[in-house]
């Protein structure tokens, strides 16, 4: 793993780290016979193909080990992510640029028309089945049955209204709009124009979303941030030169990366790490229980996954957390 620490270690507030290349990158597709060594990975849809494939059939998994510059193993609330950006190069030459989400109904036969040209590319988290984890799946874990939908070992996820992880691989078939964590953006390209080959596509994750924030915090605690690139470009759609125009993403094994003519994907993350002080009721981690902790609990009241103010780790900041601050205040304030 190669990483670069941008901010001084002793700087106050979030420190910025860049991780490149990915520890793991693979084309997460059922018929990929070389998952850890391919030079590109494609994203596309099999919706309406007549086969029992996932709607989001071709996905790309990118995993970045963060241990070293970011201390792993702390409770998830110890990590406060200020920003998280993924950059990855696209090698295709026939993809219209669409930087805005499209309603899921626009993919249905007889559904409303897509208001703009092209289809966007999205970033999600990664979920795993059958005892596999982000670490064990890596670049050579089993895909699962490629001829059945909804069973792949690693799959793109968002979180539903209750905060439960949800496989979004079949959101068209199941009829729901996923929560998009980020949409791919290309600087200097107008919407509707073709994306120049070897352009860098940037995904800036919505870290203000409490579920995205919690996912990243848990990933940093685990020492590995896994993200999944997904799009619903039809796999059989004809494009320039008679080729199917779905995106091909540059992976670290691409010969152009070795030659220095292309870059592997990179993850840029700003995070403030505040280990727990061990003092009951200390929300801010400053070793004291005072008005700042009281205000943090009041500000966080309600559903708050991986929140420092959730002192009893119930997923909700409520009166029990307030009482914990009061109890700690009596002993340490």
Residue-wise pLDDT tens digits, 184-240: 999 999 999 999 999 999 999 999 999 999 999 999 999 999 999 999 999 864 443
Q: Is the pLDDT of residue 11 over 50?
A: no
Burial 115-126, CB ≥16 within 10 A → b, else e: ebebbbbbbbbb
Residue 278 falls inside a structural domain:
no
Q: Residues 233, 119: contact at Cβ < 8 Å?
A: yes
Q: Is the pLDDT of residue 21 over 60?
A: yes
Residue 286 falls inside a structural domain:
no
Distances (CA, A) of 176 to 103, 171, 173: 9, 5, 8
- Distance of alpha carbon 180 from alpha carbon 5, whole angstroms: 28
What's the pLDDT at 196?
97
The maximal CA–CA distance of the chain, rounded, in angstroms, is 74
107-139 confidence digits (pLDDT tens): 999 999 999 999 999 999 999 999 999 999 999
Residue 281 falls inside a structural domain:
no
Q: Is the pLDDT of residue 9 over 60?
A: no
Say whether both 92 and 158 belong to one domain: yes
Say whether both 7 and 143 belong to one domain: yes
Q: Residues 74, 178: contact at Cβ < 8 Å?
A: no
Alpha carbon 135 to its chain centroid, in Å, reads: 15
Boundary-marking domain end, from 224, 245, 273? 273
Q: Kindly report the pTM of this predicted structure.
A: 0.91
Say whether both 312 and 222 belong to one domain: no
What's the pLDDT at 264?
98
Confidence of residue 244 (pLDDT cuts 50, 70, 90): low
Q: Mention every residue, 6+ apart, whose C-beta is less than 8 A from residue 51.
A: 147
Boundary-marking domain end, from 222, 246, 273? 273
What's the pLDDT at 116?
93
Say whether both 243 and 123 belong to one domain: yes
Say whether both 209 and 295 belong to one domain: no
Say whether both 58 and 123 belong to one domain: yes
Q: Residues 210, 81: contact at Cβ < 8 Å?
A: no
Q: Is the pLDDT of residue 140 over 90?
A: yes
Residue 284 falls inside a structural domain:
no
Say whether both 244 and 296 belong to one domain: no
Residue 283 falls inside a structural domain:
no
Say whether both 159 and 269 belong to one domain: yes
Q: Is the pLDDT of residue 4 over 60?
A: no
Average of per-residue pLDDT across 137-153 = 96
Confidence of residue 12 (pLDDT cuts 50, 70, 90): low
Q: Is the pLDDT of residue 96 over 90?
A: yes
What's the pLDDT at 281?
87
Say whether both 218 and 314 belong to one domain: no
Q: Mention every residue, 6+ apart, whose C-beta is less than 8 A from residue 287.
A: 277, 279
How many domains does one find in the chain? 2
Share of the chain above pLDDT 70, in %: 92
Say whether both 231 and 309 belong to one domain: no
Q: Tell me, what CATH number does 298's domain have?
A: 1.10.1330
Residue 285 falls inside a structural domain:
no
User: Among candidates 239, 212, 206, 211, which has minimal Cα distance to 119?
Assistant: 239
What's the pLDDT at 10?
39
Say whether both 172 and 264 belong to one domain: yes
Say whether both 302 and 172 belong to one domain: no
Q: Domain residues for 18?
A: 3-273
Handedness of CA 324, 276, 16, 203 (dihedral sign): negative
Confidence of residue 332 (pLDDT cuts 50, 70, 90): low
Q: Is the pLDDT of residue 259 over 50?
A: yes
Burial group, residue 102, by CB count within 10 angstroms (0-12, 13-18, 19+) = middle
What's the pLDDT at 199?
98
Residue 115 falls inside a structural domain:
yes
């Amino acid at each position: 793993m190669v990483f670069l620490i941008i901010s001084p270690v002793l700087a106050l507030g979030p420190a910025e780290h860049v991780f490149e290349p990915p520890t793991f990158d693979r084309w997460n597709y059922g018929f990929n016979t070389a998952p850890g060594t391919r030079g590109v990975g494609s994203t596309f849809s099999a919706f309406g193909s007549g086969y029992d494939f996932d709607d989001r059939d071709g996905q790309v998994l990118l995993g970045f080990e963060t241990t070293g510059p970011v201390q792993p193993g702390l409770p998830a609330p110890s990590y406060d992510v200020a920003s998280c950006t993924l950059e990855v190069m696209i090698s295709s030459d026939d993809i219209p640029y669409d930087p805005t989400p499209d309603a899921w109904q626009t993919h249905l036969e007889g559904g409303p028309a897509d208001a703009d040209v092209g289809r966007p590319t999205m970033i999600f988290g990664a979920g795993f089945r059958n005892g596999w984890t982000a670490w064990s799946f890596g670049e050579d874990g089993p895909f699962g049955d490629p001829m059945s939908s909804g069973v792949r070992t690693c799959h793109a996820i968002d979180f539903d209204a209750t905060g439960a992880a949800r496989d979004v691989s079949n959101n068209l078939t199941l009829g729901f709009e996923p929560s998009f964590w980020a949409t791919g953006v290309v600087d200097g390209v107008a919407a509707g124009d073709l994306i120049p080959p070897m352009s860098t596509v940037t995904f800036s994750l919505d870290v203000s979303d409490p579920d995205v924030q919690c996912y990243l915090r848990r990933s940093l605690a685990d020492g590995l941030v896994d993200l999944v690139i997904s799009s619903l470009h039809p796999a059989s759609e004809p494009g320039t030169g008679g080729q199917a125009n779905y995106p091909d993403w540059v992976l670290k094994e691409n010969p152009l990366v070795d030659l220095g003519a292309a870059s592997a994907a990179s993850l840029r993350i700003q995070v403030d790490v505040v280990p727990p002080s061990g003092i009951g009721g200390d929300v801010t981690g400053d070793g004291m229980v005072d008005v700042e902790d009281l205000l943090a609990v009041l500000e966080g009241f309600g559903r708050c996954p991986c929140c420092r103010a959730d002192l009893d780790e119930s997923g909700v900041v409520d009166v029990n957390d307030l009482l914990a601050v009061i109890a700690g205040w009596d002993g340490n304030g």
